Amino acid sequence: MTEQLRIRIERQLIVEADEVCREIGITPTAAVSMLFAQMVKLRGLPFRPSDFPALEEYGATLDEAQVAEAKAQAEIAGDRKAGKLKPFTGKL
C-alpha cells in the first residue's frame, strides 16, 4: 500500500531535481522512494551532506579549487593567445 507525502521544498530545487530525474530516466517519486529505501536500510542518509561533494571526494578545499581553476584559466588563455587552440565548430 502506498501513502501520499506532502512536503515543502523550494520551487527552483524542484525544477532542477525534476530535470535531473528526466535526464537519468526516473520519476521524482521513484527518486524519493529510492532515497527513503536507502535511509531505512542504512538507518541514516545514504550520503554525507556537503556544499561541495566533489571537493570533499578529492580532499580539496574551496580555496585550493579556486587556485587550480585560475591556473587552468591562465593556461587556456596563454594557449589561446599563442594560437594553440582552435575554436570548436561542432564537427569532430
CA-to-CA distance for 86 and 79, rounded, in angstroms? Answer: 10
Query: Residue ranges per domain, the chain?
Result: 1-47, 49-86
Q: What is the pLDDT of residues 70-81, one digit of tens each?
A: 999 999 999 989
CATH 2.40.50 corresponds to the domain 1-47: no
Confidence of residue 87 (pLDDT cuts 50, 70, 90): confident
Residue 26: which residues within 8 A CB-CB, separation 6 or more? 34
Tens-place pLDDT, residues 23-51 = 999 999 999 999 999 999 999 988 877 77
Tell me the Ramachandran region of residue 29: left when phi exceeds 0, alpha when psi lies from -120 to 50, beta otherwise. alpha
Best CA proximity match to 3, nearest among 26, 43, 33, 28: 33
Confidence of residue 56 (pLDDT cuts 50, 70, 90): confident
Q: Summarize pLDDT for 3-20 with one digit per residue, the tens.
A: 999 999 999 999 999 999
The residue ranking higher by pLDDT, 29 or 86, is: 29
